[in-house]
Structure 1
Amino acid sequence: MRDKKEEGVKPEKKVIGRREHISLPELDLQDLEAKIDTGAYTSAIHCSDIHTETMPDGTQVICVDLLDPSHPKYNHRKLRFAEYDLREIKSSFGEVQQRYIIRTTIELFNEVFEAEFSLSDRSDMKYPVLIGRKLLKGRYIVDISRKDLSRKYKSKQKQKQNNP
């Protein structure tokens, strides 16, 4: 039997709700609530104390405090990223900001893949993670009337494994 990719047929897109729970395995963050935002191009994650440091070997790194102490998933880890980009991103208020962009893995619907996230202070926002169009494209269709479909999918997959 042939794989859909081999036949030139695109794999079917999964339906995603307006809010989903995601994990960021490389950042040691599990079950974070994320807002799905088709108006945003780039995905974003809440960080505080975002600054650059020069390492002893002269390498520039960005340092962040992922989330902040008031968030229930805060893990007290200060992270450093040697690989990053600096881009102009238009905020939800329409102003252009310089933001650091990192690549990390995201887990959604039991799939783990790499994605880009801008690092920004989202302390005034309800959700610490925003999932934008670039991550959604080719993978998901958004149904704004639904939420937590990835969590429900994960539960069904576990039930299937436990009751073959």
Structure 2
Amino acid sequence: MPVKKKKKIIGRRELIDFPALGLFDIEAKIDTGAYTSAIHCTAIREVTLPDGRPVIRFNLLDPSHPLYHQKIFEFDQFTQRDIKSSFGDVQERYVIRTQIQLFNKIIEADFSLSDRSDMKYPVLIGRAAIRKNFMVDVAHKNLSAKAKLRKQQNKKI
């Protein structure tokens, strides 16, 4: 009988890192009702390079966010999918695959590029990203950030 690995407990809100994108301690809402994760982007556009390859370009976050850095990101690996919003509307969105770090785990996850300026949190983590490694306890929040802080404090001792 295969041994099940123990899943880490995360809260309803977590601070996550996007190491490949240079973004750290971004507030994220954990939403087990959503399948695909989403990240707040602006100026999302598909561009054809001189060699004919399509790329997707966008800015992460927006000028009102304290971690906004005006960097334009470019991905040549992307898809377009129909994503149903929490309001029941279906939108065609660009989807990229990138890494997130939660606790000490680096996870490859799909993120739809979306204008989340009307939302409280710039990142939504859906169940597809967390199902293999984490369980959600809605009574808690920022468990990964608290663990990181404890680890740093223990190193100082």
Is TM more than 0.5 here? yes
Post-superposition offset of 1:145: 1.1
Q: In structure 2, what is the Cα distance between the partners aligned to 1:101 and 1:146?
A: 29
- 1:1-164 matches, cutoff 5 A: 8-163=2-157
- Counting aligned pairs with the same residue, the percent is 57
Identify unmatched segments of 5+ residues in structure 1. 1-6
Partner of 1:98, secondary structure, is strand
Any conservation in 1 of the 2:107–2:129 contact (CA below 8 Å)?
no
Q: In structure 2, what is the Cα distance between the partners aligned to 1:125 and 1:102?
A: 20
- Count how many residue pairs are aligned between Structure 1 and Structure 2: 157
Q: In structure 2, what is the Cα distance between the partners aligned to 1:28 and 1:124?
A: 24
Partner of 1:146, secondary structure, is coil
- Structure exhibiting the larger radius of gyration computed from Cα positions: 1
Q: In structure 2, what is the Cα distance between the partners aligned to 1:99 and 1:160?
A: 43
Post-superposition offset of 1:115: 1.0
Give the counterpart letter for 1:32 in structure 2.
Answer: I
Q: In structure 2, what is the Cα distance between the partners aligned to 1:75 and 1:56?
A: 27
> After TM superposition, where is structure 1 displaced by more than 6 Å over at least 4 residues in a row?
none
Give the counterpart letter for 2:113 in structure 1.
Answer: L
Post-superposition offset of 1:124: 0.4
Q: In structure 2, what is the Cα distance between the partners aligned to 1:156 and 1:28?
A: 23
TM-score by length of 1: 0.92
Instruction: After superposition, give the CA deviation of every residue in 1:33-87 in whole Å (9 maximum; x if it has no partner).
Output: 0000111100000001111111010111111011111111101101111000111
Cα RMSD (Å)? 1.2
Identify unmatched segments of 5+ residues in structure 2. none
